[in-house]
Amino acid sequence: MSRDLSPRRKLGPAIFHKTESQDRLIEELQDRLGVAKEEQEELKSQDDWLTEGVVITARPQGEEQNGGQQVEKFMAQGKAGGGGSPPSTTPKPGSQLDTMLGSLQSDLNKLGVATVAKGVCGACKKPIAGQVVTAMGKTWHPEHFVCTHCQEEIGSRNFFERDGQPYCEKDYHNLFSPRCYYCNGPILDKVVTALDRTWHPEHFFCAQCGVFFGPEGFHEKDGKAYCRKDYFDMFAPKCGGCARAILENYISALNTLWHPECFVCRECFTPFINGSFFEHDGQPYCEVHYHERRGSLCSGCQKPITGRCITAMGKKFHPEHFVCAFCLKQLNKGTFKEQNDKPYCQNCFLKLFC
């Protein structure tokens, strides 16, 4: 490698203000071009005003038959208190890495050094010379592969694609995942769809008791889900006998619904034969207890009085059952004597008590 001893200002150096990421790129180029670090120290600039940068020159070598070019690399560093005059313009602070890469590639091409890009960035449409991210069928500069919503660099994190745009996991779920009707949070895994809504499985439970639904499923009322027990307890018709919910078969009578086993005489709890019953005060009774409640049972035979009756001593009798308690002869209403709550004819009363 030859060294140019002519003043550097006449060479028209390409000077770049470096950043930390540019330093890494320069080191990578040094390794590929075979430039040793010792050469950098030997090629320090003597000009005071030059800032640290990269100078790339090409000098043909007579010994080479193919007319190739030799690339030399120099590091120029300004010295404090030098005699040279600094340039009048102030260098721009921290130029973008992609600008540096594009300029560096252009200079290398002018010098005859072939550079091969790793691809074209899907965001800035410029060649990629350093690290590359491959995603969604495209290549990207790492700093340009960002979440469409929050603009944070995705890096090696998981991401989601929607309409050809990348989203970080958090923003994708917040923007596009279904929402739980109970907590309004995004649903990331399993989902329950019911009542035209979506739910976290752990948030879909009975609105009354909070129990999770089993194999029997749920019942809906006014947009809310209930377990079978609470639904029937709260909303099913109630039996007129036991006041519990009616779930299956029922009997409709007296403007009320009844469990079949509850529709019996309210006094003796005997089922009604052929469904025939008597009503008193809104309750069903058998014939005997119906007349008993109404006071229409014969005090003599304890059977209902359906025709003529005799009322005496605060009781009712079939005419044929109103008899003397001693001789058992039929009595007329006005021709009997009462003793110890029993009726007697005139003759028996005189014989027994007079």
pLDDT of amino acid 11: 36
- Tens digits of per-residue pLDDT, 15-45? 444 456 656 666 766 666 555 454 444 444 4
Which residues on neighbouring strands pair with residue 194, listed in sequence order? 197
Asked if residue 300 belongs to a domain, the reply is yes
The two structure tokens encoding residue 28:
């990578």
pLDDT of amino acid 260: 92
Number of domains in the chain: 2
Which residues on neighbouring strands pair with residue 310, listed in sequence order? 317
Is the per-residue pLDDT at 46 higher than 80? no
Structural domain range at position 145:
118-175
Asked if residue 182 belongs to a domain, the reply is no
Residue 264 — very low, low, confident or very high, per pLDDT cuts 50/70/90? Answer: very high
How large is the average pLDDT for residues 245-252? 89
Asked if residue 147 belongs to a domain, the reply is yes
How large is the average pLDDT for residues 189-195? 88
Asked if residue 139 belongs to a domain, the reply is yes
Largest CA distance in the chain: 173
Global pTM reads 0.40
Residue 350 — very low, low, confident or very high, per pLDDT cuts 50/70/90? Answer: confident
Q: What is the CATH number of the domain that holds 334?
A: 2.10.110.10
- Tens digits of per-residue pLDDT, 107-142? 767 776 666 667 888 889 888 877 888 888 888 898
Is the per-residue pLDDT at 79 higher than 60? no
Asked if residue 231 belongs to a domain, the reply is no
pLDDT of amino acid 128: 81
Average pLDDT, the chain: 75
Is pLDDT larger for residue 110 or for residue 267? Answer: 267
Residue 269 — very low, low, confident or very high, per pLDDT cuts 50/70/90? Answer: very high
Asked if residue 76 belongs to a domain, the reply is no
For the packed helices 20-33 and 97-110, what is the interaxial angle rounded to 10 degrees?
30
Last residue of a domain, one of 175, 194, 210: 175
Is pLDDT larger for residue 275 or for residue 176? Answer: 176
- Tens digits of per-residue pLDDT, 209-225? 999 988 888 999 998 99
- Tens digits of per-residue pLDDT, 289-347? 888 887 788 888 888 888 888 888 888 888 888 889 889 888 876 678 888 888 899 88
**Contacts with 8 (C-beta within 8 Å, 6 or more apart), sequence order:** 45, 47, 50, 55, 74, 76
- Which run of H or E residues covers position 278? strand 278-280
8 A C-beta contact, residue 194 and residue 226: no
8 A C-beta contact, residue 16 and residue 22: yes
Asked if residue 254 belongs to a domain, the reply is no
Asked if residue 317 belongs to a domain, the reply is yes
| Cα separations in angstroms, 289 against 265, 298, 304, 321 | 8, 12, 9, 19
